[in-house]
Amino acid sequence: MNVNVLRRPLLYTTLTALLLAFTAPLLWALSGSFKTRGDIFEYPPKLLPSPATLDNYRSLLTDQPFGRWFLVSTVVALLATVVSVFVCALAGYGFAKFRFAGKQLLFGVMFSSLSIPFAVILVPLFVILVKTGLGSPWFALIVPWVAPAFGIFMMQQYIVQSVPDEILEAARIDGASEFGIFRRVVLPLLRPSLGALGVWQFLQSYNSFLWPLVLVSDSSQYTLPLGLQTLFRAENRQYDLVLAGAVLAVLPAVLVFVVLRKQLLEGLSTGAVKG
């Protein structure tokens, strides 16, 4: 008990220090986004902007196609999310509730695709899509990424744990078709984990950089990360506009995360925990 009394303050101090370390860079960017160009690199650094200005936001939104970048990123991410959640739920269900020849092997193949580094397919996938005329961002930023093995694994684990066989049996006896059972019985039971997977997929797509960098050459189709990076280079590494853009780009992601954090954090870890 005595040990505990001594340990508590230490524990909270450590946790608070970590909290600062993990949030300070973001808060620093937030504060910087309200500073004038000259004040961003002022010494000694001021924690709060004075004078605070909205000029960075104003010129970002009026002089730069920020709204377009935002739209492209959001639409691409939403489409990729909807399709991939469906594909993952289908495959997860197949692996969780059926017994079939070659299951071991097929599951192993699916799982092992987690350890294929993206860099190996970067060049060939780019070449294939461009040569076959499928290089349009609306196809190439979405379709190749809607079947993530991680999502299937996550759904499979969740379905094993939370969809009882008896319900499926009952539906079969009632004469429901297999796909009907999936749609009307299984999917509604999966709602929490669909949410988790959805948030995860959305963030993956919304935040991705290397693939859009390689693929998108037309600046009217830039995604947010791409647009911000180009702006940074074009402005000769000046931070004023970029910080405002970073804040506006990060805000939706953080909001979605904070609102749905329970599902996401629990959903993410279900798969990895069971031995």
Partner 1 sequence: MTSTLTTGDTSAAGATAGPAAAKQRRSTLHPYLFIAPFYLLYVLFMLVPIGVALWLSLCEWVGLGTPHWVGLRNYSHLLTDSSFHRALGNTGIYVLVSVLVIVPAALFIAQAINSRGLRARDLWRTAYFVPMVVSPIIVALIFGLIFDRQFGLFNSLLRALFGTGSVDWLGDPTMSKVAISLVMVWRWTGYLTIFFLAGLQNVPRELYEAAALDGASRFRTFRAVTLPALKPVTAFVVVTSFICAAQVFEEPYLLTNGGPAEATLSVAMFIFRAAFERQQFGYAAAAGVVLFVVVFTLSQLFNRLLGIGRIK
Interface of this chain with partner 1, residues 62 to 91, rule: CB under 8 A: 87-88, 90-91
CB of 63 to partner 1, least distance (A): 19
Residue 211, judged by CB atoms within 10 A of its CB (0-12, 13-18, 19+), counts as buried
CB of 29 to partner 1, least distance (A): 5
Torsion, CA 138, CA 258, CA 189, CA 83, rounded to 10: 0
Show the binding pattern over residues 151-170: x = contacts partner 1 (CB under 8 A), - = does not.
-x---xx--xx---x--xx-
CB of 267 to partner 1, least distance (A): 10
CB of 232 to partner 1, least distance (A): 6
Interface of this chain with partner 1, residues 122 to 151, rule: CB under 8 A: 122-128, 143-147
DSSP, collapsed to helix, strand or coil, labels residue 207 as helix
The answer to whether 145 touches 84, Cβ cutoff 8 Å, is yes
Q: Which is nearer to partner 1, 15 or 54 (CB)?
A: 15
Count of residues interacting with partner 1 (CB under 8 A) = 109
Interface of this chain with partner 1, residues 105 to 124, rule: CB under 8 A: 106-124
Q: What is the C-alpha to C-alpha distance for residues 241 and 248, in angstroms, rounded to an integer? A: 11
Interface of this chain with partner 1, residues 178 to 207, rule: CB under 8 A: 178-179, 182, 203, 206-207
Four-residue CA torsion sign, 131, 134, 136, 142: negative
Interface of this chain with partner 1, residues 255 to 274, rule: CB under 8 A: 257-258, 261-262, 265-266, 268-274
Q: Which stretch binds partner 1 (CB under 8 A): 51-59, 61-69, 74-82, 222-230?
A: 222-230
Q: Does 209 bind partner 1 (CB under 8 A)?
A: yes
Q: Which whole-number Å values give the CA distances from 176 to 93, 100, 124, 168, in the listed order? A: 16, 20, 44, 9
DSSP 46: P
What are the phi and psi torsion angles at 203 (to 5°)?
Answer: -65, -40
CB of 253 to partner 1, least distance (A): 5
